[in-house]
Structure 1
């Protein structure tokens, strides 16, 4: 079989290669999934460029350690090279380990979550049953391949962490991104109000109907002024930022008393200046969000409840993901380049069916 592997970290993607390798049998506890499609996400690029490793090396528990980990207990190491990227995808269960109920899984179409060192960018993937969700026939492969990471991120942040209530105002950067569009859809469904920040008028017009209840165009409008107008002078109860830099600074300044902001990405810059009194005088809270870490902290029951809610919402089309293009496995580098193109409005997929 063939896999996409990160041989070494590189900004120019030169470390990404297509590698022929032997297909491994599933362990007694695993499912063997023939992959149909896999998603290309910014998180994959973070592994390819070495951004995650650079960030982890700054954490206290990784100080002077040769192998950084994602957790203080040092149970989740950053993968060593070579490794296979890919956080999610869709496929067919072709075989089961001896300890798995084959009647429940064999032949089923499933959405899967994985990640380096053994991610979804390969023709066959072995996963534990808790990494797979059986899918309804009505859900297209393109949506199933994108069902886990972005939709679950939007759902977890708004419903499980911020616990957004009807009437609450939520401000979000990168308003035309997949996650932000899903947050806007969740707001319309559950009753909380959203404000989307977009870069320019073309982005606002091109994504009309998918953005928040209110839209702020950063190239034309002053964010603080518009948020003050929209919220009758009070500010927003919660905010989400995946951009960083000056955008994060401005967004945090829009929080109301006891407001909460979650940082979950660094599309523009990994750092920003924080005016401490923006938090002190409002008693506001600034936190980070990283989906694998959040999932690892959930009980099995809580995880299953979140996935059940996710599957139900996805089946209705509420958490729809626009797909811009699909690339065969041997064009993985081109797929990654396409995923970074400015102005792109949809997601990029790897297609294993060719």
Structure 2
């Protein structure tokens, strides 16, 4: 099979290799799928550099998620060859074949394209878990989404609107503000030109946002505590800024706010059934037309380094998907 492979950790432009290798065997309780499309995520860059939460054993193929057709199933798998599925794993997606345990494999509805399926799992499950279960977002509440034009950002805007929230989104360019509007944001803030704290307070009559969705961290997290409503929930999604922030406990106490984390991948070990329930819910919403993944580009698998360039430069928005055909 063809695969992008990493034999030593480092910058992806230096260490990625396009190689021919043997397809991996399916696990006993899982499947091997013939990949049709795979999703590109920022953790790919960290994994290749050896700086992701789970360090992949060398050599490995990067990539967290892929859609395709079951090629072979282990003896204990619930799936059979020929079924269309989407799968996720800590690595292995950017290749012609990928393996995953059944708990991380879900059927793809007939009406969903491979490209949309490859863009679904990581970002939409992250936002669904964050808004529905971690923040318990309610109809009529105000949701502030930072990094609104990114993959998790656009999914949070779409799902937040579906859940009945008024959505405020931040982004760093006029083009990305339009991406947020197109995703359904009611209000947008250019965070390089305006003080988002002041704007959020003005838009909410001084009350602040009920739920703040923060994949940025750093100064964005620090300043978000100044525009959160009494009893609000600040959901920590990630640290794209590069700085992991701190918070003084008296701020949590005085405004009765909750700061909650979401490590979505950890649910595979702790509550795997929630992943399946979330997938089913997202497929129902997709079938009803509630959302469509926002795709910046669909590129052939061979152009994976170019996709990572667009991701690292922050030129991209939404999701980048790679296809094998």
Same fold (TM over 0.5): yes
Distance, in Å, in 2 between the alignment partners of 1:185 and 1:41 is: 19
Distance, in Å, in 2 between the alignment partners of 1:187 and 1:100 is: 35
Distance verdict in 2 for CA 1:50–1:288, change over 3 Å: farther
Counterpart residue number, 1:5: 5
Q: Is the 8 A contact 2:33 2:97 kept in 1?
A: yes
Residue 211 of structure 1 deviates from its aligned partner by: 4.2
Distance, in Å, in 1 between the alignment partners of 2:179 and 2:89 is: 33
Counterpart residue number, 2:20: 20
Distance verdict in 2 for CA 1:334–1:110, change over 3 Å: same
Give TM-score scaled by structure 2 length: 0.91
Q: What secondary structure sits across from 1:105 in the alignment?
A: coil
Distance verdict in 2 for CA 1:120–1:12, change over 3 Å: closer
Counterpart residue number, 1:71: none
Aligned with residue 348 of structure 1, among 308, 315, 320: 320
Residues 168-198 of structure 1 deviation map (CA, whole Å, 9 limit, x = unaligned): 1121211112222222222222212221112
Q: Is the 8 A contact 1:238 1:259 kept in 2?
A: yes
Q: Please, which moves more after superposition, 134-143 or 343-352? A: 343-352
Distance verdict in 2 for CA 1:346–1:236, change over 3 Å: closer
Aligned with residue 87 of structure 2, among 93, 112, 120: 112
Q: What secondary structure sits across from 1:78 in the alignment?
A: coil
Distance, in Å, in 1 between the alignment partners of 2:289 and 2:65 is: 19
Residue 132 of structure 1 deviates from its aligned partner by: 1.6
4+ runs deviating over 4 angstroms = none
Distance, in Å, in 2 between the alignment partners of 1:336 and 1:220 is: 27
Pairs within 5 Å for 1:212-223: 212-223=185-196
Distance verdict in 2 for CA 1:205–1:94, change over 3 Å: closer
Q: Please, which moves more after superposition, 154-163 or 107-116? A: 107-116
Distance, in Å, in 2 between the alignment partners of 1:209 and 1:352 is: 29
Give the aligned length.
325
Counterpart residue number, 2:171: 198
Q: Which runs of 5+ in 1 are unaligned?
A: 54-76
Aligned with residue 67 of structure 2, among 90, 93, 97: 90
Q: Is the 8 A contact 1:243 1:267 kept in 2?
A: yes
Q: Is the 8 A contact 1:4 1:19 kept in 2?
A: yes
Q: What secondary structure sits across from 2:52 in the alignment?
A: helix
Cα RMSD (Å): 2.2
Counterpart residue number, 2:153: 180
Counterpart residue number, 2:283: 311
Residues 188-234 of structure 1 deviation map (CA, whole Å, 9 limit, x = unaligned): 22212221112233422354332422222213322222111222221
Q: Please, which moves more after superposition, 142-151 or 318-327? A: 318-327
Q: Which runs of 5+ in 2 are unaligned?
A: none
Give TM-score scaled by structure 1 length: 0.84
